[in-house]
A and B are shown apart, each in its own frame.
Chain A
Amino acid sequence: MDDDALFKRLAAASDPSALPAESAPANLKDKIQASLLARQADDSVFETLAAAMSAESAPPSLTSRIYSALVARQAESGPLLGLPAVKAGGRELCVFEELVRIAPVGEKKQAFNYCHICHARVIAERMDFAPIYWPGCPYAAFQRR
């Protein structure tokens, strides 16, 4: 029996308003069951594949670009937290930020995003093994994860 005939019989057999009910022939039931089982087996195989995929780490250059974009977006809506407050919060500043923190400059300068003008950012956004090592630099930390 071809597919067209098979589904016509199936429609007739499952339509309560049809002519006197006849029970679906055994081979039709078998075909439907086999089709359902095949579909379930298909689903099961693809679900197994989906669950088996492994995790991967983001490249340091991508991590660097995301960080740069995030801080730039934060700075668009107002000043960043000043460097003295960052340090007071227990976080390490890089050598350049530390110099600014102890310099007699106003709040605006303390809140400036110095990473934006730092060569470490430029290198780290383009290289996955960037030669930057100094402490307190997020871009250097991203390289060594």
Chain B
Amino acid sequence: MSLITKTGERELIASVLRKDRKASAEFVERFVDSVYAYVRHRLLPRADLVDDLVQDVFLSAWESLPSFRGDSPVRSWLIGIARHHVEDYYRGRLREPLPQEGEAEPVDPVQLRLEEVLDHKRLCSKTNEVMGSLPEIYSIALRWRYWEKRSTHEMAAATGRTEKAIERILARARALFKKRWNGD
């Protein structure tokens, strides 16, 4: 039996604000999967950080709930909070020193042969596997740029690095990703 009822979002939020414990349970149950999936994909391979960050998102949401105006769906609002938390983590990691140069020296141009991975499940699992094998700074750079769709300019501004430095990190990250993807 699920706790999820036909409660409208506005009514649900009002009940959570009144500290109705059952409404709070419905709030968590209704939105936890979306927040979890989002955070998990953004933090892999650091699965050890996911649980704490998802919990932080809900606690931050509780603090901000009185100012939630309902302009956007609750799910989008929560993902926005999650995005801030994930980007805080990215920012901190990308400020750290880069791995040894030799570890990710760009290789000869390599094609990423996506067509070899036919089904969706394998595509996801292979992507996560390859991401997990990269130095974390490279996987974060790729996720921030392509999954979060942040420009190199935005990434540079957030980390205090130059845009050129971010492009360099991305170039190395792409090269190493392609190399590992193709099993080299």
Instruction: Return chain B residues, CB-CB under 8 Å to A74.
Output: 19, 21, 24, 62
Chain A residues with Cβ below 8 Å from B35 are 58
A47 within 8 A of B: yes
Q: Which residues from 73 to 123 on chain A have a C-beta closer than 8 Å to any C-beta of chain B?
A: 73-75, 78-81, 85-86, 89, 91-93, 113, 115
Report the separation of the CA atoms of residues A22 and B148 in the bound assembly, to the nearest whole angstrom: 41
Give the chain B neighbours of A78 by CB distance below 8 A. 19
Q: Which residues of B contact A38 (CB under 8 A)?
A: 109
Q: Is there contact, CB below 8 Å, between B29 and A142?
A: yes
Interface size on A, residues (CB 8 A): 46
A55 x B33 contact (CB < 8 A): yes
Residue contact A63 to B21, C-beta cutoff 8 Å: no
CB of A127 closer than 8 Å to a CB of B = no
A–B pairs, 5, beta carbons within 8 Å? A49-B127, A80-B21, A89-B22, A138-B29, A144-B2
User: A-contacting residues of B (Cβ < 8 Å)?
Assistant: 1-3, 15, 18-25, 27-29, 32-37, 40-41, 51, 54-55, 58-59, 62, 109, 112, 114, 120-121, 123-124, 127, 142-143, 145-147, 149, 174
